[in-house]
Amino acid sequence: MSADSSRVRRIHTSDDFGGIDLDVIDAGTPGNPVIVLCHGWPESKHSWRHQIDPLVNAGYRVLVPDQRGYGSSSTPRDVAAYRSDRLAGDLIALLDDVDAEQATF
């Protein structure tokens, strides 16, 4: 599977951390080791487009979320919604969604 055959899908995070929706590129084979590519400000999941194919071809499942407040993911209005525990909760929700106990970030 290549990035060309990857899919963008939406996951819902835990209500404990604000219950938002994240758009995520999901590429590679379920069950393969997981790599999560996280962007910074002011980027989006699009900034990782050149790294997805080589990682999938190397045998990884690659997850690339638009983090909260970016791209098509939810954009909470409250500044407290962007605390580090909320951002970490989003990434944990992403791993839970694909049933991964560990990942490389």
Read off the pLDDT of residues 7-65 as tens digits, 9 standing for 90 and up. 999 999 888 777 899 999 999 999 999 999 999 889 999 999 999 999 999 999 999 99
> What is the pLDDT, as a whole number, of residue 41?
87
Q: How confident is the model at residue 74 (pLDDT cuts 50, 70, 90)?
A: very high
Coil, helix or strand at residue 62: strand
Q: Using pLDDT thresholds of 50, 70 and 90, give the confidence band for residue 5.
A: low
Query: In the prediction, which pLDDT does 3 show?
Result: 47
Domains by residue range for the chain, with CATH:
3-97 (3.40.50.1820)
Mean pLDDT of 86-92: 93
pTM (predicted TM-score): 0.90
Residues 80, 28 contacting (CB under 8 angstroms): no
Q: Are 99 and 33 in contact (CB under 8 A)?
A: no
